[in-house]
Structure 1
Amino acid sequence: MVARGTIHQTIDLLQRAITQLGAELPPGQVEKIGVMVNKAMSVQGRTFHTPEHVLALADRSNPHITLAALFHDIVYFHVDEGFLPEIKEILEPYLSTNAAGDLTISQGISRKDRAFWGTCAVFGFNPGDVLNPFSGMNEFLSALVMNTLLVGLLKDQDLFITTPCIEATIPFRPTTPEGKSPAEVLAERLKRINVQFELSLPESGIDTSVQCAVQFANRDVMNFAEEDVARFLDNTWKLLPETNPALRHQGIYTIGHYRHALQKMLGFLTGLEPQRVFSQYKGEPSDEKYQRLLAGADRNLKTARDYLGIKLVTAVILEAFAMATGGDAPISLFLGDLDPHGPGGNIEDYLPEVSKDKKPKDDRLFALLSEGRANESYFDLKNSPLSCFIYQHLGIEECRVVKSKTEELIAGSISPEGFLAGLPREMVSAVASAIGTMAWTRKAALDSLMARLRS
């Protein structure tokens, strides 16, 4: 069978889900919606939330989860830098801007607009609320698009299952001050909606809806429990250009841009607990599976923090050299060609061999740095030769110590020269020599810097 492209698969999934739920939609309308979904997921700035992400989440045997997969990420306001024209047309009546320029939910919407009021009720939002991209804005607007398109076509009871699936994908939420999980809060809302919208669902139907939502939300973040940490880091790296637009320009972004992106990601992962990644509600998932998910997330988060910490130390060392020899510069000037298939060499070619006695004890981190993440990345090397070199010299404990000192350099409380002076002289000298070979325009300044560090 000939492989079908993402646009065809998206349309097929939409048609299948609608048919499974006993509804009919003219082929032209199926095509129009499917094309819109595929187009929204293909916006240039996206590297993780793509059509492939939708296809991976869809469940052909479960139409509610399939619809949630299709629609849950179609709005990604800040990454997409606004709305697609087709989506803007749908959402415009429901959005306003306040005096501060914030996007808010419009007031005065007719009470007969079940798509609007139903979506607000599931998310716990109200007219006049300011929409925050870190507190459900994208998920709410994505669900509102879905419900506006499908209300009247699908039964309210079906949207009552699919909309909570999208709400549950608002990520990394803590429990309430009263100790209630996001799933328990969602269940309370659905009980009120059942009465308000006269759905006449038994309590078991509400539980089923929340369990479906939890199942879908866990699927959405399943990469956190990957058996292979290299694959988990793959997805982490796909997110970097989405949240750091400068990284979308291969070879042009600066050392400072790269350091800032790593610093943000490390800060986020450092404060993240497995219990805020995965959810459980009344046996979904089972206790055994839930504990397995938590253990996997804990393992991957710990490894990712160390990996990112070493990468951050490397970036700050490069930044210190740059600041001490003329200022920030494109990272490719110091590291060389970031395209593994490109014609140019990179800094690895000019680093000396590290003696065997310096081989780190943590083979897991060494393998990640030397062999790389699971797949190539268009903006960065898969492996990390300079980070591996630094890790071999410092080891994990010293890397953690140096990482704490990077904050002083970033804050300006220590000079670039002072920061470099606190590192092993042999390592600093080797890195300086390699940079000088790659960026000959900095060689004289690097030689002068190293002479001062040796004196």
Structure 2
Amino acid sequence: MSLAAINRLIQLFADAFEQLGQPVEMPRAEQLAMLVQRSMDHRRRVYHSSQHLFAMVPGMNARQTLATLFHDLVYYQLDGGFPTLLDHELRRVARVDNGQLSLRLIDRNDWQLRLCAEVFGFAGGQTLSPYAGQNEFLSAVAAVRLLHDELPPRELLAIVACIEATIPFRGPDAHGRELSERLWLRLRQSNRDFACGADEGELERMVADAIDMANRDVAGFAEPDPAQFLANTWLLIEESNAPQVESGVYSIRDYRQALARMEGFLRTLKPEYIFHRDGVRPEAGEYAAQVQAAGRNLDFACAYLGCKLLSISIVEAFAQLTGGDCPISMLLGDLRGSDGPPLRAEDLLPELPAAADLNPGLLRVLQHGRARESQNDLTASPLSAYVYAALGDAASRRILVAAREMFAGTLTPQDFLAHIPAPLVDHLGQACAQISPSRRELLRHWLATRHSNG
């Protein structure tokens, strides 16, 4: 039996301080643990929660453990602001203008903030971007503010370095320098400027620790099971669309846009920018295997999300032809029912012959599901599996191109549906019509008109 999450956090703090030779009383470890849990187990977080920390820390040293406990403390755009217990302090660091954060001018006497800014390469007055270290930087500031009474500057420098390294998906800079070299140069400068007292060997260990922690943070990209990788990806989709989910307003277009954002991001992500080396570790073979696995998972996830996009694009076309965007359940049915399984559109579909050119692994995941349950979507994708099996791989990819044209407004819903075999459109349309009393007549009329015009 495992400890409660809060007790695991308390023990991690207490053990880390002990290992660094800076033991703290249990009430202090408890105070820090409660702050982390209250900040991270926010109702909108489903991936960047305390469970993510527990997955990372096994085998870490004390510096890495403390850095991990703080590295996702701030997630401004997801949480809707700063952590409550740090709001006053962080508003002294960053200014908020129309939801956009910028770093305030840094007081020369504020060595803690100067240390963080120097390690991150930030300057007072600059705009902070959520895609370029905003949350990691503010999390590092919070860590230093909270830990400076317990730890000397050398340990704080190492912790800030680890958190900086978790800014994800960065390649070489304009001078061709990799993350490890850039970090080492800034650490060497900060070590001098703040008299941290670390020698060259310790600075190299700090970089190695930081690279190792960064790779642990994104370890899911090298997951050997594509279904598990997809499960984690789905948690990120749910997180990034938390406001719509919370409000209960999750329309067809909302859902499609959420899929498209994640698919577009994964499609442009370079596998070699996910994991890093410090020149020695991880070993070249291990690093190559991580990059290869990441590429394989990205390809699989994009194919999966493409299938999801294709099936929802058909439903979106039906919606546009019969009155416009609407809650997704209006045409497909509820995910769950209080009185047993609800009626879903896929339950009303007749069998169709399967195409010859199918990816068996992709079809299996569509039919049987990702590796983790979701509260806001079916784990399996029976509608997407039905469409993919009927069309085949090549036709699905081709028709997805037309779907993107419809999303962009350069192709009408009618013209988009003309790319799809008529029997498939008919079966899907009739199923949606049976689910939706308010769109039933219009949808059946459109289907009948389509046949008469054809």
Report the TM-score when normalising by structure 1.
0.95
Partner of 2:432: 435
Q: Which residue of 2 aligns with 1:351?
A: 349
| Residue among 313, 317, 321 paired with 1:320 | 317
Which of 162, 167, 171 aligns to 1:170? It is 167
Shift of 1:97: 4.3
> Which consecutive unaligned segments of at least 5 residues does structure 2 have?
none
> Does the C-alpha gap of structure 1 residues 61 and 270 become closer, same or farther in structure 2, counting only changes over 3 Å?
closer
Aligned residue for 1:279?
A: 276
Counterpart of 1:96 in 2: which secondary structure? strand
| Structure 2 partner of 1:103 | 101
Alignment of 1:234-249 (within 5 A): 234-249=231-246
The residue that corresponds to 1:31 in the other structure is 30
Tell me the residue number matched to 2:4: 5
Greater displacement, 178-187 / 194-203: 194-203
Write the distance in 1 (CA, Å) between the matches of 2:275 and 2:398: 31
Amino acid at match of 2:308: K
Stretches of structure 1 that go unaligned for 5 or more consecutive residues are: none
**Other-structure match for 2:180:** 183
Identical counterparts, % of pairs: 37
Work out whether 1:309 is the aligned partner of 2:306: yes
Distance 1:397 1:423, change over 3 A: same
1:194 and 2:163 are equivalent in the alignment: no
Q: Structure 2 CA distance, aligned partners of 1:170 and 1:46?
A: 18
The answer to whether the 8 Å contact 1:251/1:331 transfers is no
| Distance 1:61-1:261 versus aligned 2 partners, 3 A rule | closer
Query: After the TM superposition, which of the residue ranges 425-434 and 390-399 deviates more from structure 2?
Result: 390-399
Note if contact 1:119-1:140 (Cα within 8 Å) is conserved in structure 2. Answer: yes
For residue 291 of structure 1, what is the aligned residue in structure 2? 288
> Distance between the aligned counterparts of 1:340 and 1:222, measured in 2?
36
Q: Does 2:257 correspond to 1:260?
A: yes
The 3-state SS of whatever aligns with 1:440 is coil
Residue 128, structure 1, aligned to residue 128, structure 2: no
Equivalent in the alignment of 1:53: 52
- 1:168 deviation in Å? 0.6
- Deviation readout 1:295-328 (Å, 9 max, x if unpaired): 1101100111111111111111110000001111
**C-alpha displacement of 1:108:** 4.6
Whether the 8 Å CA contact 2:95–2:101 is kept in 1: the answer is: yes
Q: How many residues align?
A: 451
Of residues 388, 395, 403, the one that matches 1:406 is 403
Contact 2:369–2:379 under 8 Å retained in 1: yes
Cα 1:284–1:156 change in 2 (3 A) is same
CA RMSD of aligned residues (A): 1.8
Instruction: Give, as a single letter, the amino acid of the residue that structure 2 aligns with 1:268.
Output: F
Relative distance call for 1:340 and 1:268 in structure 2 (3 A) is farther
Partner of 2:214: 217
Work out whether residues 347 and 438 of structure 1, in 8 Å CA contact, stay in contact via their aligned partners in 2: yes
Query: Does the 8 Å contact 1:259/1:312 carry over to 2?
Result: yes
Provide the rounded CA distance (Å) in 2 between the counterparts of 1:370 and 1:247: 26
Matched position secondary structure for 1:53: helix
* 323 and 6 in structure 1: CA distance in 2 versus 1, 3 angstrom threshold: same
For 1:84-139, what per-residue CA distance to the aligned partner results, in whole angstroms no more than 9, with x for missing partners? 221113323222346x774222225242x332111111101111121111110100
Shift of residue 203, structure 1, vs aligned partner = 2.1
- How far apart in 2 are the matches of 1:280 and 1:376? 34
Give the direction of change, closer, same or farther, for the CA distance of 1:60–1:39 in structure 2 (3 Å limit).
farther
Does the 8 Å contact 1:246/1:253 carry over to 2? no
Q: 1:222 to 1:339 in 2, by over 3 A?
A: farther
| Residue range with higher mean Cα deviation, 178-187 or 72-81 | 178-187
Q: Which runs of 4+ in 1 moved over 6 A?
A: none
The equivalent position to 1:416 in structure 2, one of 399, 413, 418, is 413
- The 3 A distance-change label for structure 1 pair 295 and 108 is closer
What TM-score does the superposition give when structure 2 sets the normalisation length? Answer: 0.95
AA in 2 matched with 1:23: Q
8 A Cα contact 1:122 1:164, kept in partner: yes
**What is the CA–CA distance in structure 2 between the aligned matches of 1:96 and 1:252, rounded to whole Å?**
31
Counterparts of 1:25 and 1:137, CA distance in 2: 30
Say if 1:56 and 1:22 are closer, same or farther in 2 by CA, change over 3 A: same
CA-to-partner distance for each residue in 1:214-271, whole Å, 9 max, x for gaps? Answer: 1000000000010000000001100112212344248641000000001101110110
Deviation, structure 1 residue 43: 0.9
Which residue does the alignment assign to 1:145?
Answer: 142
State the one-letter code of the partner of 1:84: P
Please point out which of 120, 144, 158 is paired with 2:155: 158
- Encode CA deviations 1:422-443: one digit per residue, 9 max, x unaligned: 2110110110011111113212
Deviations 1:260-297 (A, max 9, x none): 00110111011001111111112111111101100110
The answer on 1:41 being equivalent to 2:40 is yes
Q: Following the alignment from structure 1 to structure 2, what is the Cα–Cα distance between the partners of residues 359 and 9?
A: 51
Change (3 A) 1:30 1:345: same
SS in 1 for 2:92: helix
Aligned AA for 2:349? Answer: L
Q: Return 249-258 or 3-12, whichever deviates more.
A: 249-258
Partner residue in 2 for 1:366 = 363
